[in-house]
Amino acid sequence: MGRSLRASLVFTAALGLSGCLLFTDPINKAPVVTIHQVTSPVVFGIPAEFTVTVTDDRDNPPPLLAEWKEFDYPTAGCESITNPTWDPLQSKPQDRSASYLLTADSLAPVCLCARATDHDGATGLNCVKISPVPVATIVDVSGASSGQQRRLCSQVHLSAENSGFPAGDKIQFKWSIQYEGADPAGKSVQLGPCTAGVPTGMADLHRCFTAGSPGVSTAGKYTVTLSLTDTTTSSTSDQAQFVIPVNMDTPPCLQRTDPDVYASRILLSRNADLSGTYQSRTFKVLSVDDDCEPYPLPAGSTNPSSLFVWSVLDSTKSSPTWTYQTNDSDSFTISQAQFPNARPGDTIQLRVEVRDSVVQKLYQAGGSACAQDTLDICCGSSACGTSSDCVRWTTWVVQFQP
């Protein structure tokens, strides 16, 4: 074999050997980065959590995440962010933890990107578009919580001041109210502007309404909802809810009177003074606790106040009976001149009962606050004598003195 042929064969074998070595090693692939949004949606001002998984064709275990970055949303979209453009882009400081907390300080969209590099230097990158939204929050100015039971005719003042949205953005507040219950009047209740307790320039963030109306005989429930829309970005919040359950109507209760509710016997002179004027005593109701018709009425209330029913039992008559008086005011005056047959030691009884609209309808239908008129003090179906007494009527014994 000639020298030139042998050299040619050696060269060919070397080429074959080197070609085999060139293509037998697998090509290293970049890690695959997947971003997972734990918190959804991303709302203004509240940290949202993101995690990442990284898979790699060769590294076991796979490489840890090298860095996170937030970028202003580019015109071409998040997919336009690549490794060559990563560093020059305007971004927030990187974070090398395995998870990331993003806190939106505006409602403008951003790109959240994660990048990982394997042990051979291959880099994988993934970016997702984040569109923050405002957050709607409803609180009761009184401090009552959602779902807390209220008295009928409670004045409800709700505020959205704890909602989250950028200062200076134009926000539309969409309030609504729904009623569940048996009273047809409940469905006509509307949310309206509050007349007091609203900071200047925040009228849209406050709404008020009255939870119920006099005469309701069954409990009801109001649900107030609120959503916010940023008119610049058109981003809309999730709907917030606030629930106000309302109790059934409760009867009115005498609270303070003069004399006291439990002052049983009042002494009154029978004789006239030198001017010919008989001594008198005025009995007065000072306050009544009631859900819809308290007394005195709160300022600005349009409800009627409770009705006072006075009655007298004149023991100086041969057949004394309870007689209703025409006076329905908060006071009634007794003097001996009204009872010419009274003698020293004689007594008359004066009773005052408080009735709201619902109780008055009960009487018109033949009912009564208490089953027995002989009770000096009536507490409805409950016995009197406890700290939680609801005194429906009280009776004073007026005894004439010489």
CA neighbor of 228 nearest in space, from 70, 77, 45? 45
Q: What mean pLDDT comes out for the span 43-68?
A: 83
- The total number of structural domains in the chain stands at 3
Q: Lowest mean pLDDT: which of 38-47, 152-161, 234-243, 363-372?
A: 363-372
The predicted pLDDT at position 387 comes to 77
The percent of residues above 70 in pLDDT, for the chain, comes to 86
Taking 70 as the threshold, does the pLDDT of residue 121 lie above it?
yes
Instruction: Enter the tokens of residue 354.
Output: 């408080």
The reply to whether 22 falls in a domain is no
Which CATH number belongs to the domain containing residue 165 in this structure? 2.60.40
Q: Does residue 147 surpass a pLDDT of 50?
A: yes
CATH code of residue 97: 2.60.40.10
The answer to whether residue 4 scores a pLDDT higher than 50 is no
For all residues of the chain together, what is the average pLDDT? Answer: 86
Strands of 118-261 (E only): list them: 123-130, 139-140, 154-159, 171-181, 206-211, 220-230, 240-246, 253-258
Q: Is residue 18 part of a domain?
A: no
| Domain co-membership, 329 together with 367 | yes
Tell me: do 396 and 263 sit in the same domain. Answer: yes
Inter-CA distances, 53 with 31, 50, 79, 236, Å: 10, 11, 19, 30
In the sheet that 280-289 helps form, which strands lie side by side, from edge to edge?
253-258, 280-289, 331-335
If asked whether residues 299 and 359 sit together in one domain, one would say: yes
Token pair belonging to 267: 């002494």
Question: Is 15 among the domain residues?
Answer: no
DSSP at 62: P
**pLDDT of 385 higher than 90:** no
Residues 285 and 396 in one domain: yes
Last residue of a domain, one of 130, 160, 178: 130
**According to the model, what pLDDT value does residue 96 have?**
62
Q: Are residues 146 and 229 in the same domain?
A: yes
Is 394 found in the same domain as 276? yes
Residue 3 lies in a domain: no
Q: Could you give the angle at the alpha carbon of 53 between the alpha carbons of 50 and 55, nearest 5°? A: 160
Co-location of 283 and 389 in the same domain: yes
Q: How far apart are CA 69 and CA 130, in angstroms?
A: 12
Range of the domain at 146: 139-246
199: confidence class by pLDDT, cuts 50, 70, 90: very high
Which of helix, strand or coil describes residue 115? strand
Banded model confidence at residue 261, pLDDT cuts 50, 70, 90: very high
Decide which of 29 and 18 is more confident.
29
Q: How far, in Å, CA of 361 to CA of 3, rounded?
A: 130
Q: Are residues 171 and 302 in the same domain?
A: no
> What are the tens digits of pLDDT across the range 59-94?
676 666 778 999 999 999 999 999 888 877 666 666
CA distances from 370 to 10, 30, 251, 290, 401 (A): 124, 86, 12, 18, 32
Q: What is the pLDDT of residues 283-303, one digit of tens each?
A: 999 999 999 999 998 887 777
Q: Of the given ranges (2-16, 83-97, 170-184, 363-377), which has the lowest mean pLDDT? A: 2-16
Residue 12 lies in a domain: no
Judge whether residue 15 has pLDDT over 60: no
Peptide bond into 296 cis (omega under 30): yes
Q: CB of 320 within 8 A of CB of 348?
A: no
Looking at 218, 246, 274, the residue that finishes a domain is 246
Which segment of 1-5, 121-125, 186-190, 252-256 scores lowest on mean pLDDT?
Answer: 1-5
Q: How confident is the model at residue 57 (pLDDT cuts 50, 70, 90)?
A: confident
- The reply to whether 341 and 361 lie within a common domain is yes
397 shares its domain with 258? yes
Candidates 207, 63, 37; CA nearest to 124 is 63
The β-bridge partners of 220 are 181, 246
Query: Distance (Å, rounded) from C-alpha 216 to C-alpha 298?
Result: 20
Q: What is the pLDDT of residue 6?
A: 45
DSSP state of 188: G
Q: Which of 82, 103, 130 is the last residue of a domain?
A: 130
pLDDT score, position 14:
44
Average pLDDT over residues 154-183: 94
Q: Tell me the residue type at 122.
A: A
pTM greater than the 0.75 cutoff = yes
Do residue 262 and residue 390 come from a single domain? yes
Name which of 68-72, 138-142, 310-314, 398-402 the model is least confident about.
398-402
Give mean pLDDT, residues 204-229.
88
Residue 194 belongs to a domain: yes
> How many residues appear in the chain?
402
Which of the two residues, 340 and 69, has the higher pLDDT score?
69
Domain assignment present for 19? no
Residue 341 placed within a domain: yes
Q: Say yes or no: 36 and 89 in one domain.
A: yes
Quick one: residue 121, left, alpha or beta (phi over 0 = left, psi -120 to 50 = alpha)? left
- Is 386 strand, coil or helix? coil
